[in-house]
Amino acid sequence: MHETIRSHFQSKVALENHEDDDPMHKSVRICLTMILLVFTVPAWSSLPAEVDGEPLPSLAPILEQVMPAVVNVHTRTRVQVRTSPFFDDPFFRRFFDFPSVPRERVQQSLGSGVIVDASAGLILTNNHVIDGADDIAVMLEDGRELSAEYIGSDRDTDLAVIRIDADNLHELPLTDSDRLRVGDFVVAVGNPFGLGQTVTSGIVSALGRSGLRGLEYQNFIQTDASINPGNSGGALINLRGELVGINTAIFTPSGGNVGIGFAIPATTAEHVMAQLVEFGEVRRGSFGAEVQDLSSQLREALEADVHRGAVITRLERDGALDEAGLEPGDVIVAIDNQKVTGAGVFRHIEGLLSVGTTVRVAYLRNGRERSASVRIEEDLDARISGHRLDDRLDGVVLARIPDRSRAQGVLVKDVRRNSGAWQAGLRSGDVVVAINRQLVRNLGELREQFPLPEERELVLEIRRRGTGYLVTLE
C-alpha cells in the first residue's frame, strides 16, 4: 500500500509541477489528491509503536513508578441534624417530647493523597479533604483499603498529613520546586469525581500565584493540566517523575475545569509537613511588622529606586525587625536573596520561616540599600495553639485581635471541626473576654491563666456578633 501511495504522490507532484494549465490536467490533479487522502487516513488513524526504529515518546514508564504512590482518600463526617427549630428551648423539648439526642446524617467526600514516606506510612493531602472528618480511609492503587490516622493539618496553607500502617508501599518524595520554570511540562495524578486514578498533562502556566480566598500563605503553581473536584491532594509531577506540587484548587466560573489549576509547591509542602509530623501543627515565627505594596506614589515619596517591594507601615515594639533596627517607611526588597515583590510575598516568606532561624533582610531607606541580620522568634502573644495551654483547647487556634479594631480580648482564629471545643459550641471568629470569671484583655493575659488545676472546669466567656455567651469545656 505504501508503494501505491508513493506512486500516487509522485504523480501528483509531477502534475503540480507541470506548467500546462489544461483543465483536464487540473481535474486529474484533484482526483489524485482525493485518492491520496483516502489512502493515507487509515495509515494515520493508529500510531505505530516506533518510527524508523525509534520508539515514540511516552509517559507510561514514568507513571508506572508514580501512580502506586498516589492514593484515593475517602472521608466520612457525622453531622447532627436538628429535628425542630425549637430544639434548644427546654420548655418545647419537654412539652412535645422531642428526642434528647439530635439525629445524625453522614457526609462523605472524596479526594487524593500522595505517599511521601513509605516506611512511616505518611501521606500528604489537602486540609479541606480531611477537615472535620470522623473517619478517614485510603485506597491504594493495588486495591487495598486502609484506615488512616490523622497526624496534623494547617488551614493557612491547606495541607494535612495522615498515616497508614501497611507493607509494600511506594513513595514519591518531595523535590525542589524552586527549579520550575514557566513552560515546563507537568502531569497531574489524582482521583477526579471519584472515578479512580486519572492522569492529565499540561505545562506550568505561571508561578507565585496568589489571591485565593481562605488561605493565609499563597505561592501557587498555576497549570493547565486538568484538575477537577477530587484531584485535591493529588500529585503534580515533572517529566522526571518528581513530585513538584500538591494539587489544591481550580479557578472555575462553571464548576468544571477551564484550564486554570493551582498546586502548592513541593518546597512549601515539605516545610509544613516536617512541622506537622513533629508538632502536629505549624509553629510560625514573626517579623513583628505590618507591610503594604510599594505603589508608584510611595516609590516617589520614599525615593525608592525599585518598582516592587514591601513597605513597612508598623513595627511591633521589640519585634524581630524592630530589634534589627528597621523603621516604618523602609522598603523590604529581599529576604535571604528571595525577591520581595509585595506584601503577599513578604507574608508568605514569613509564614515559612522556622522559629529560631536567622535571615538576611535587604531594604531601602532614603534611596540607599541596606541589610540586616534578623532572628525569627515565635510570638506567643500573637498566636498560639490551644493544646499548648490546655488539652481541652485542642483544635483551637487563639490569636491577637488586630490593633485597628481597638477591641479587647482574644480572637478564636480557628476551631477544628468535631473537636471537643467545637462540640461545646466554640466557633471561629468568637472573642474570648474572660476565663473562669477572670477578664483577659489580650493573649498574654490569657496565657497567664494556665495551667489550671486538673479538677477545675474551664469556662470561657465569649462575645459573638455583639452577644455574650458562656462555653464550658470538660
Which of the residues are catalytic?
128, 158, 232
Structure-block grid coordinates of residue 141: 492503587
Q: Which of 338, 339, 359, 215 is nearest to 287 (CA)?
A: 359
Q: What is the DSSP letter of 69?
A: G
- For the chain, the first-to-last Cα distance in angstroms comes to 84
The span from the CA of 61 to the CA of 65, in Å, is: 7
The span from the CA of 330 to the CA of 303, in Å, is: 10
| Residue-by-residue DSSP string for 188-249 | EEE-GGG---EEEEEEEEEEEE---TT-SS--EEEE-S---TT-TT-EEEETTS-EEEEEEE
Structure-block grid coordinates of residue 311: 513597605
| Residue-by-residue DSSP string for 299-339 | HHHTT---S--EEEEEE-TT-HHHHTT--TT-EEEEETTEE
Residue 436 φ/ψ, nearest 5 degrees: 50, 45
- Residues ≥6 apart with Cβ < 8 Å to 265: 177, 178, 180, 219, 220, 221, 244, 245
Taking 3-state DSSP, the helix, strand and coil percentages for the chain, each rounded to the nearest 5, stand at: 25, 35, 40
- Residues ≥6 apart with Cβ < 8 Å to 208: 219, 220, 345
The span from the CA of 75 to the CA of 52, in Å, is: 50
SS3 31: helix
**Would you tell me the crossing angle of helices 23-45 and 2-17 to the nearest 10 degrees?**
150
The span from the CA of 33 to the CA of 29, in Å, is: 6
The span from the CA of 142 to the CA of 58, in Å, is: 23
- Residues ≥6 apart with Cβ < 8 Å to 419: 394, 395, 396
Structure-block grid coordinates of residue 88: 434548644
